[in-house]
Amino acid sequence: MRIGMALTIAWLAVPVAVGAEKEVSMDPLMAPGIFRTVLRKQGDDRVHTYRIPGLAATPKGTLIAVFDLRHASAADLPGDIDVGAMRSTDGGRSWSPVRKVLDFDRNEPGSQGNGVGDPAILVDRKTGRIFVAGLWSKGNRAFHGSGPGLTPAESGQFVLAQSDDDGVTWSQPVNITAQVKDPAWRICFQGPGIGIQLRDGTLIFPAQFRGADGVVHSNFIYSTDGGEHWKTAPAAIPGKPPTSEAQIAERADGSLLLSMRDESHSGKRAWAVYSWKDDMARGSWGEPWSAVADPTCMASLIGHPKGLLLFCNPASARQRVALTIRASKDGGKTWSDGRLIDPRPCAYSCLTVLPDGQVGVLYEVGEKSPYETLTFARFPLGFLGLED
């Protein structure tokens, strides 16, 4: 049964500048209480393009935004790319300057010209530790230039930085490639966006790997000891379609819902559920299915304390436009028709739940291209036609 709500097409007002303290004026069709602000735009601080948003709230209520700093062009890895972060301690109204979290020109001797990107952020709510995952590409060892093996000279590297002071400072990166990558695979790295912590404390990053046959598959990695050691789950869809850039959420019954980018360009998302009894390593995937229009793009999926799942993506089978948020009350079996966040060209997004229960989203949006800005929006569940 669908949650009844029509897709509403309405423009948000012009974004206010970072640091503004007033609410954004709105079209009358928009629900009251929505706020929106631009964090980064192309050319800021001489960075060509800011892409690949991740967003999380810490136990102290701080919002941490992470993203690619694509210095020379908008192109993917390999390239001159670092991972940056910004903090907000007032619910997203104002933001700190950008601080680099992953920068292998600085961290790795002799690595000039190497890039690291596609970040995902994960908060351990028991300890307050924050993890940021990135793909380090030494030379051309990105998605297409990587091969079998575990070393930086052979394959892209799965690296983690961490913060124990609410995102103010960050550790040197730790390389976990040997823990999570089968040497026969060409590459293994995080699904960009956000990781999750299960009710039992297990930490999870959605992930993806390109097998020896060259086909990309979505999966996840997990840690049961606070991020000291990591293990790898099997592919959600071992055959076809190829999938990538997944996001993951815990369902009410404890199983995991994986939302995947379908690389066969089917025009829909791919979905699968992972379940287990006593040992996650002995779990298995259920039969995958396709649902919800998607233009072969990264999309966001999170759980909300009210018992809902929330999903956000460009609501089109072919174009990266019309960023829309949907809700599910049945663990992802069915989804609401959704509510439009932004009708302009939009692409990647990352949802999070704020300490007061409101929903925050960091997303790529522009007037002519989705990659002109990274913009933050905040709104209550009432925006979706649901009670707060």
Give 367's pLDDT tier (boundaries 50, 70, 90).
Answer: very high
How far apart CA 211 and CA 97 sit, in angstroms, is 39
**Torsion angle defined by CA atoms of residues 146, 69, 178 and 238, in that order, rounded to the nearest 10 degrees:** -60
**Count of CA atoms in the C-beta half-sphere (13 A) of 298:** 29
| Alpha-carbon gap, residue 135 to 265, rounded angstroms | 24
Give the residue numbers annotated as catalytic, written as ranges: 245
Residue 64, Cα to own-chain centre: how many angstroms? 12
* Domains by residue range for the chain, with CATH: 35-384 (2.120.10.10)
Q: How many CB atoms lie within 10 A of CB 87?
A: 18
pLDDT, tens digit (0-9, with 9 covering 90-100), for 253-302: 999 999 999 999 999 999 999 999 989 999 999 999 999 999 999 999 99
**pLDDT tens digits along 78-118:** 999 999 999 999 999 999 999 999 998 776 665 556 899 99
- Is the CB of residue 186 less than 8 Å from the CB of residue 147? yes
Residue 106, φ and ψ in degrees, nearest 5 = -95, -40
Instruction: State the residue for tokens 């055959």.
Output: 239
The pair of three-digit structure tokens given for residue 339, joined into one six-digit string = 């509510």
pLDDT at 386: 77
| Contact status, residue 350 vs residue 68, Cβ threshold 8 Å | no
With H, G, I as helix, E, B as strand and everything else as coil, classify residue 182: coil
Rounded to whole angstroms, the maximal C-alpha distance in the chain is 57
Residue among 347, 356, 344, 351 at smallest CA distance from 328: 351
State residue 43's pLDDT score: 98
Instruction: Please give the Cα distance from 370 to 350 (Å, whole number).
Output: 14
- pLDDT tens digit string along 17-39? 333 333 333 442 354 678 999 99
Going by pLDDT thresholds of 50, 70 and 90, the confidence category of residue 4 is: very low
**pTM score > 0.95 for this model?**
no
Does residue 361 surpass a pLDDT of 70?
yes
Q: Tell me the DSSP string of 351-369.
A: EEE-TTS-EEEEEEE-SSS
What's the one-letter identity of residue 247? Q
Query: How far from 229 is each of 102, 144, 147, 176, 180, CA to CA, in Å?
Result: 20, 27, 24, 8, 9
